[in-house]
Structure 1
């Protein structure tokens, strides 16, 4: 067996925070009757009998949502590592707590006295935990996403950017300030990020102010072999500076681009190579101080709108200027977000880790707390109200990446059933990735003349993997998929499918495991539809 090199070790470690995109599934016809594994059919049984699953544990629960009849069941009450299917729980709790039509209103208050067009004082942007601050809002009010989100660019090949300006919300706020009649601020700009305080187990850690997911996008484009590659980056906010030593190599060569940054994150360096025939390659670098970053970005936006701020744009966020209360202070601007259901769709379609963790904090805020950990009792209360036993899950984050996280197949099935009894049933189902169509399941059917379940499976996926040094290979702690199957004639089946404890010799093998689960989901859908037609 060939050794697993350092890049593979790094990639494997990143899988606990990343996702694996399923790029293809083999063609498959309707499953035959009989076979092991709860009479799942010969094709599914053959998949589960592959050598990579020799020591693995499968879990499955498929239920006819209309009748409650259990169609398939394998260890429905046993704990499994959920991966990102845990987002079904955290997003559901946040959606229920806030409401699908909730909008975040981020105000800017004027602190001081007005004298004509001059404010003798400061402006305070009061952050409200808006996930995108307008940076993904399309003209129709929806929130844009791509199959592989930019937040995964350092871990998963093929990440791309949405077309919107990540500073759009701040630019709108700046225009409103100018529209209020203010052209000069004899003072400062401060970001009020006192809404909540996160805790270490939420990784990535949410902040009340989020601009471009608090990352810098770095896009490298190949030129002629032997020449420096072309670099573009966004958002361009002082004092962030980017330097690239990436060179273009011959077509078919290696594309390997590394990112490093200074301790404060403001000096970013890209190094490595890009093949002449490679598509533009995206990398990201994290923003270390979201409040200071947001302050500078807003001051620069104000300048573009024709508002002068006398304080220097670069520097720490002057939180000492914040008042105990905004009573009596005029509001001079406010950015209003898209509805939360659009944010939920973003989180579920692309497995947005920051957004899932943010939901825990937003539930705490809804309960009157500024401590993110207080969101978990709210989530517990939601589950109980929905008639679901919360002890069927263990969670210490919102995204499904903490070692503590566990779920039973039953809790996810019951949660999916809960949504079907609400007015939000269709909107919730369509927020999930659709097999062969969009989100993290968009590429499942590529290159396949026949793709079971295409367009008829709505499901969240999850992957947890790491490097197994003992056996010099990848340990796939979990691969999961959970959602709805179109059973025909307007009926749906809920399902949760997991395999814990598989292994892979390389990255392609991990992708193959994801393909196996997607293929099984498609076969289950075909079986369900065939039964309805029988």
Structure 2
């Protein structure tokens, strides 16, 4: 009787089948191998750091060869990418415009030359070139002289109609606008140096000779479009330098305050310009005069479209996009992201606007495996706090980009950890300076108030190439240094570099 009862305990209920499994001998799923569990434990331990308390952090890791996702932490949570948005913008630009695409700036006239006089207006037409510099304007002046033009009886006109007239993306913070990171976008603009921060001017403060006097101020390029309000004061040699350089919102008045010691080191700042079209025209007018080309009568300046019947007198082409990507991505140039966005809109849809350009970016992102139903794009640089992308979407884009013919150019544009050359190491040149991450981690950084991100590629110890995306949102405190939030990103990248599968 007891034997029968014991057997009944092992009989299935009606409608059920017997399924004996020895759980101790189960093979783990392919995505949960022993080695992956080891990596998971390491990454989970990093993400348990108290510095991440109160944050929302998304992490995604894939094998670069197969796209297999081997780790995800909040991977599908939409987060602010900061300058990791530039991964989408640069990929879309390469895919849409091509690595050899060049911007142009042109000089036109609606008049004719009689003797040494141009009878008609002179038009400086911008078509989005962020690399236009003072030296290029001198080349334009030389080209006019070579055509026999020494005087102009007409207006100097700026044509920025290649793009719309919306200068700032809709989510740019009011407090960001005076600085080079929030420079205005115009199809006609000027860069002060070869970093190509278009729409900015360099303000340099140097010591004067006597205590109590104002310090010396120099603008690059020289112009009278900017008004300098110099409230600095020279102090004794051993006193502290404390210089503030801020452009007043909505104006081109730059207020410079503070103390400069005798023999003190220069203070330099890149300030954005209010209405960069007028800025470019102002510098061009000065250069024409310096090169011996004068205007007859009053030099009126205008702003409107070049007439269809006008004749082109000179043209300057930018470096190709594949070269422009170096300062754009290595130095995280916000202006390039916005100008490329408008350029894609102009080329693909005939409208140089953020709306049309972001349509192009979203379309290319979809082609690169991104679920566009779960992202929100608001600008091309990542300055917006309303752009949202999940970490898994970024790692998908990084995976599928490898299939594109332009991928080598794109990968080369990423900052490389620990390499001191700023146009190689870029924003990672002072991070991860030791092996195995140094020279190995190639990734785009991102930083906004309360946001820090890092996404890219790294090769593991056994040669397995990996893709990773780390998005940290809502942190408080420092971002840089060993105690900062970027140390978390670095530790993840270093752990991947050390791992063996």
Give the TM-score band, short-chain normalised: 0.7 to 0.9
For residues 67-78 of structure 1, the aligned pairs below 5 Å read 67-78=66-77
Separation in 2 of the partners of 1:36 and 1:55?
Answer: 27
Residue 524 of structure 1 corresponds to: 496
Cα deviation per residue 1:484-517 (whole Å; 9 max; x = unaligned)? Answer: 113468753221012223222x576797112331
Residue 350 of structure 1 corresponds to: 331
- Answer yes or no: is the 8 Å Cα contact 1:185–1:308 preserved in 2: yes
Residue 409 of structure 1 corresponds to: 391
Offset at residue 38 of structure 1 (A): 7.7
1:59 is aligned to 2:54: no
Partner SS, residue 270 of structure 2: strand
Residue 502 of structure 1 corresponds to: 475
Residue 79 of structure 1 corresponds to: 78
- Answer yes or no: is the 8 Å Cα contact 1:395–1:405 preserved in 2: yes
For residues 244-323 of structure 1, the aligned pairs below 5 Å read 244-247=230-233, 254-261=240-247, 265-274=251-260, 279-310=265-296, 312=298, 317-319=301-303, 322-323=305-306
Q: Aligned pairs, how many? A: 444
Structure possessing the higher relative contact order (Cα contacts under 8 Å, 6 or more residues apart): 1
- Answer yes or no: is the 8 Å Cα contact 1:95–1:344 preserved in 2: no
Residue 442 of structure 1 corresponds to: 429
For residues 189-200 of structure 1, the aligned pairs below 5 Å read 189-197=156-164, 198=166, 200=169
For residues 206-217 of structure 1, the aligned pairs below 5 Å read 206-212=185-191, 213-217=198-202
Residue 109 of structure 1 corresponds to: 108
Partner SS, residue 332 of structure 1: strand
Identify unmatched segments of 5+ residues in structure 2: 1-32, 173-181, 192-197, 420-424
Separation in 2 of the partners of 1:389 and 1:511?
Answer: 35
Separation in 2 of the partners of 1:523 and 1:218?
Answer: 42
TM-score for the superposition, normalised by structure 2: 0.80
Q: 1:495 to 1:249 in 2, by over 3 A?
A: farther
Q: 1:262 to 1:381 in 2, by over 3 A?
A: closer
- Answer yes or no: is the 8 Å Cα contact 1:87–1:400 preserved in 2: yes
Residue 480 of structure 1 corresponds to: 453
Q: 1:507 to 1:482 in 2, by over 3 A?
A: closer
For residues 40-439 of structure 1, the aligned pairs below 5 Å read 40=40, 42=42, 44-133=43-132, 135=133, 167-197=134-164, 198=166, 200-201=169-170, 203=172, 204=182, 205-212=184-191, 213-221=198-206, 226=211, 228-247=214-233, 254-261=240-247, 265-274=251-260, 279-310=265-296, 312=298, 317-319=301-303, 322-325=305-308, 327=309, 329-366=310-347, 367-437=349-419, 438-439=425-426
Partner SS, residue 466 of structure 2: strand
Residue 12 of structure 2 corresponds to: none
Q: 1:292 to 1:310 in 2, by over 3 A?
A: farther
Separation in 1 of the partners of 2:112 and 2:279?
Answer: 26
- Answer yes or no: is the 8 Å Cα contact 2:461–2:497 preserved in 1: no
TM-score for the superposition, normalised by structure 1: 0.75
Q: 1:392 to 1:172 in 2, by over 3 A?
A: farther
Q: 1:56 to 1:252 in 2, by over 3 A?
A: farther
Separation in 2 of the partners of 1:323 and 1:348?
Answer: 33
Separation in 1 of the partners of 2:210 and 2:430?
Answer: 31
Separation in 2 of the partners of 1:424 and 1:308?
Answer: 46
Q: 1:372 to 1:301 in 2, by over 3 A?
A: same
Q: 1:479 to 1:225 in 2, by over 3 A?
A: farther
**Bigger Rg, structure 1 or 2:** 2
Q: 1:239 to 1:86 in 2, by over 3 A?
A: closer
- Answer yes or no: is the 8 Å Cα contact 2:46–2:488 preserved in 1: yes
- Answer yes or no: is the 8 Å Cα contact 1:58–1:497 preserved in 2: yes
Deviates more, 1:288-297 or 1:508-517: 508-517
- Answer yes or no: is the 8 Å Cα contact 1:259–1:284 preserved in 2: no
Offset at residue 111 of structure 1 (A): 1.1
After superposition, the CA RMSD in angstroms is 3.1
Partner SS, residue 127 of structure 1: strand
Residue 461 of structure 1 corresponds to: 445
- Answer yes or no: is the 8 Å Cα contact 1:129–1:210 preserved in 2: yes
Separation in 2 of the partners of 1:131 and 1:37?
Answer: 48
Identify unmatched segments of 5+ residues in structure 1: 1-32, 136-166, 466-475
Residue 471 of structure 1 corresponds to: none
